[in-house]
Amino acid sequence: MNKYDRNAAAQKAIMRDAEAGEGLTYNEKETRRAIIHSRQDMTQVVAHLSFINKQLRWVRLLLILIFLALLVLMVP
Average pLDDT over residues 43-48: 91
The pLDDT value given to residue 43: 92
DSSP designation for 76: -
Give residue 18's pLDDT band: very low, low, confident or very high (50, 70, 90): confident
Structural domain including 54 reads: 3-74
pTM of the model: 0.56
Please state the domain count of the chain: 1
Answer yes or no: is pLDDT of 20 > 80: no
More confident residue, 76 or 63: 63
CA distance 40 to 71: 47
Mean pLDDT, residues 63-74: 95
User: In residues, how long is the chain?
Assistant: 76
Q: How far is the CA of 63 from the CAs of 4, 50, 55, 57, 71, in angstroms?
A: 28, 20, 12, 10, 12
- Tell me the residue type at 42: M
